[in-house]
Amino acid sequence: MKKSVRKAVIAGNWKMNKTPSEASELIKQIAEKAEGKNGCEVVLCVPFVDLCAASDAAKGTNVKIGAQNVHFEEKGAFTGEISVSMLKEVGAEYVIIGHSERRQYFGESNETVNKRVKAALAGGLKVILCVGETLDEREKGITGETVSVQTKIALLDVDSEALKNVIIAYEPVWAIGTGKTATADQAQEVCAKIREVLADKYGNDAAEATTIQYGGSMNAANAAELLAKVDIDGGLIGGASLKSEDFGVIIDAAQ
């Protein structure tokens, strides 16, 4: 299968930005940019409290809505957590799981990532699974090993049918929010490695069909070069997804 056959997905990760009213406004602007751009899927992953407003604003447009995390239990005594069914009811189709900020600041481990991935898939959400090495791991020469372990553990007990609803986002931790982008060659090398891990587990066809994104200071200026690489099928974009002009340029680059 060729890269052109895989679904390109340009996803925004708004992190802890925008109130519900601000979200509606920005989604309207982004939806205008996304109109008629059928060469990629456009997803915006917004804060939990923005989901209702975001789903309303995205209705009838090309934009899909996602959340930034989900708990693995269906319900119960988990103060502050949100379940899959709650997300679905307010219109989320996607969920980011295992973002490095969750791993760094909120005790997320490969094991809890796996539990969240399984729960989200079982409940019918599409998953954007984040993996990526720290600067220390890159300097030690264990980037490949790190992303392999993260990918393998996250996908334990996920079968090839369920894999169809998984996007993998390669996000080098040192490139997130720092303005330091991985070079297109560095990003390509790791995305190819991730595809190799998928091929070992699921076979070539499933690996070739899986969308792999790059994330980490992707912006209007560097998106085209990154997206031109054979194993980079989209982007997970933080800062630049909060500016409709810049995000529009990235959507165009993915066409």
Q: Which of the following is catalytic: 41, 71, 93, 99?
A: 99
What is the rounded (10 degree) CA torsion for 179, 185, 190, 192? 140
- In the shown chain, the binding pattern of residues 213 to 242 toward ligand PGA, with x for contact by CB under 6 A and - for none, equals --xxxx-----------------xxxxx--
CB of 181 to ligand PGA, least distance (A): 8
Nearest to 248 by CA among 29, 23, 14: 29
Task: Tell me which residues in 178-217 interact with ligand PGA (CB under 6 A).
Answer: 215-217
Cβ–Cβ under 8 Å, residues 130 and 169: yes
The owner of tokens 């409709």 is 244
CB of 46 to ligand PGA, least distance (A): 13
Any catalytic annotation for residue 99?
yes
CB of 101 to ligand PGA, least distance (A): 7
Report the residue number, 18 or 202, with the smaller CB distance to ligand PGA.
Answer: 18
CB of 153 to ligand PGA, least distance (A): 20
Measured CA to CA, the distance from residue 205 to residue 199 in angstroms comes to: 8
Any catalytic annotation for residue 89?
no
What is the rounded (10 degree) CA torsion for 23, 238, 97, 40? 80
Measured CA to CA, the distance from residue 140 to residue 179 in angstroms comes to: 22
Is residue 177 part of the contact set for ligand PGA (CB under 6 A)?
A: yes
- Please work out the total of residues on this chain that contact ligand PGA, with binding judged by CB under 6 A: 13
Cβ–Cβ under 8 Å, residues 2 and 210: no
Task: Tell me which residues in 145-174 interact with ligand PGA (CB under 6 A).
Answer: 171
Contacts of 140 (CB under 8 A, 6+ apart): none
Q: Which residues lie near ligand PGA (CB under 6 A)?
A: 13, 171, 176-177, 215-218, 236-240
Provide the annotated active-site residues. Answer: 99, 171
